[in-house]
Amino acid sequence: MSKRLRNTEVCADCSVPEPRWASVNRGVLICDECCSVHRSLGRHSSQVRHLTHTPWPPTQLQMVQTLYSNGANSIWEHSLLDPASVMSGKRKANPQDKLHPNKSEFIRAKYQMLAFVHRMPCREDDSSTAKDLSKQLHSSVRTGNLETCLRLLSLGAQANFFHPEKGNTPLHVAAKAGQVSQAELLTVYGADPGAPDSNGKTPIDYAREAGHHDLADRLVEIQYELTDRLAFYLCGRKPDHKNGQHFIVPQMADSSLDLSELAKAAKKKLQSLSNHLFEDLAMDVYDEVDRRETDAVWLATQNHSALVTETTVVPFLPVNPEYSSTRNQGRQKLARFNAHEFATLVIDILSDAKRRQQGNSIASPKDNVELILKSVAVRHCSDSQDNDQPDYDSVASDEDTDQELPSSKGDRTKSLDSDLSDSPITMQEYLEVKNALSASEAKIQQLMKANNNLSDELRLMQKKASKLEKQSSMPESDYDNTFYESEMDDSGLCRRGRLRSSGWLGEGSSIPELDDLEMESDPTLPSTEDVIRKTEQITKNIQELLRAAQENKHDSFIPCSERIHVAVTEMAALFPKRPRSETVRGSLRLLTSSAYRLQSECRKAVPSEGCPGPDMQLVTQQVIQCAYDIAKAAKQLVTITTKENTN
């Protein structure tokens, strides 16, 4: 089916024409602005994919288009169709509404709170109601009426419901009947293609026996979707399931150097996790892969004016209220992994998933996911920087994701070594790791002093771009900084200071400390028009770089990064040498240091004589992450100057 959109299609949430995104589990099409809110809800609420820039399984795309065409949106807006809702003041968002708070509040109510869905009559036994709904779902999936099944799922029917009399699940029924779209919908809601019925047969078995071979092959793909997605993220290839190849496990070029004791302990811990905890960790990493890949598509598809709108990328996994605080914290910290660290964790998970599928298990009396996450990051870092404060005091609430965003993007290239402070390892082990990584305390202090002086050096570079090459001999790690302890005050606002200086605050937020302490009138700031003009120039150059990355034109990286650096330097020169606002200083710091780091990463794309060729997959990911930091810092500066000049 063609992915091209018909002119009649409109955003399900605000009615803007020609939406470019889809929410797979909601069966609706959405525009760019509304998509940014969907993403902040998390995949447990809305699973978004771009209609043309994301690879789609054809049958899944067909399922979404069928739901959209048959009015699936009315399921989520049921009560709004009642004329009485107009009288009560309830209405859906429209194209003229502001994204924050109008559209975002409506979208949260619609999908997160399910405020407008049809409510079943109250009964004393909720479990009995869910069982009745699940039995209705079990009967309905043999037909092609997709929206009926989506309605039942929205009311609480269980996709994996095991019918006590029939002895099977809805997916068994759909597979036997050859209902491809029903099978796609059920699996989006968690149905297991490998679940046995009372006779020991799986939905895959029933599809093959009934002659629905394409459906059977698709169910096999869905069964391995998690590991397939992880492998494709690293190497751009998927296993050949039809020929019995179910796993691809890429290898790191420097895996032979992986000798640290903590790294070995991490692998051992990973192998000894119970299957349940291993699956949880793998699913969290899958969600992080989805977030990173969708971020890349998001940035690549925005036009030049996107930076001056309220839409934003999602810098860490949103909170899932069904998970524990500990698990949500671990999920958020995945965003701190740079490309090399994250690839290491993905490879370890793929390796162990393959081992477990082959039936090799290792029993362990103790499970420790936290040590695995921390030590994988440490494994491939050097010259790590210390930070006595944990990254997250508590798990952010869903509302916080649009307001206070931890400095994950900017910190992503920094080692998770700082996280060891709240891990269960001993101080002796901690020091051994530091020694193994050649990062003694003296070196740490030296780096911290370099960080404190870095902002002044970068301001000089903004004025004198010709001196850039003279500075290029500085260690790269000196520029992997997004927080500055020397500028934190004594009032206990260390974490707030880091949030502000990261440049990752969501626009439209209302943070008392930001509003009251930081946004005092500053007449020395440049005009909004000048900042927007320079921002659009930066954005244009970033899009050129991303196109080169998508087309694997790695020889274009260096000239693109140089043009970006010039544009960044010109933008930074608009601002006073020492802006009054800490937020401005932090955003400028992120902007300029990210531009410098981008040049360093782009230089890695050129092989050095006598050295092995670079891992272009990892280099490209680092380049894209640097581009994110630049874009977000520029957007933050536009927002600040806009607020300042309208006061």
| Tens digits of residue pLDDT in 393-418 | 345 444 443 333 333 333 333 333 33
Cβ proximity of 269 and 378 under 8 Å = no
Name residue, tokens 């070029």.
253
> Exposed, middle or buried: residue 265 (CB in 10 Å: 0-12, 13-18, 19+)?
middle
Rounded Cα distance between 52 and 297, Å, is 10
Q: SS3 for 13?
A: coil
pLDDT at 253: 63
| DSSP β-bridge partners for residue 500 | none
pLDDT at 312: 67
CA distances to 233, 238, 289, 624 from 228, in Å: 9, 6, 12, 22
CB-based contacts of 119: which residues, under 8 Å, 6+ apart? none
Name residue, tokens 């162990």.
352
Name residue, tokens 């508590």.
394
Residue ranges of the chain whose pLDDT lies below 50: 1-6, 256-259, 304, 307-308, 363-367, 377-394, 396-520
Amino acid residing at 261 = E
Cβ proximity of 494 and 488 under 8 Å = yes
Cβ proximity of 80 and 110 under 8 Å = no
Which candidate, 402, 406, 410, 405, places its Cα nearest to that of 311? 402
CA distances to 72, 293, 318, 521, 582 from 528, in Å: 42, 32, 31, 14, 18
Length of the chain: 647
CA distances to 136, 173, 202 from 164, in Å: 13, 14, 16
Q: Per residue, what are the HEC states of 504-562?
A: CCCCCCCCHHHHHHHCCCCCCCCCHHHHHHHHHHHHHHHHHHHHHHHCCCHHHHHHHHH
Q: Which two tokens mark 538?
A: 């930066």
Rounded Cα distance between 433 and 423, Å, is 13
Rounded Cα distance between 193 and 165, Å, is 20
Domains present along the chain, CATH in parentheses: 21-112 (1.10.220.150), 127-227 (1.25.40.20), 261-357 (no CATH), 528-645 (1.20.120.330)
* Backbone angles phi and psi of 616, in degrees to 5: -65, -30
- Count of CB atoms situated within 10 Å of the CB of 480: 23
pLDDT digits (tens, 9 = 90+) for 611-631: 667 777 778 878 888 888 888
What are the strands of the beta sheet with 21-23, ordered from one edge? 28-30, 21-23, 48-50
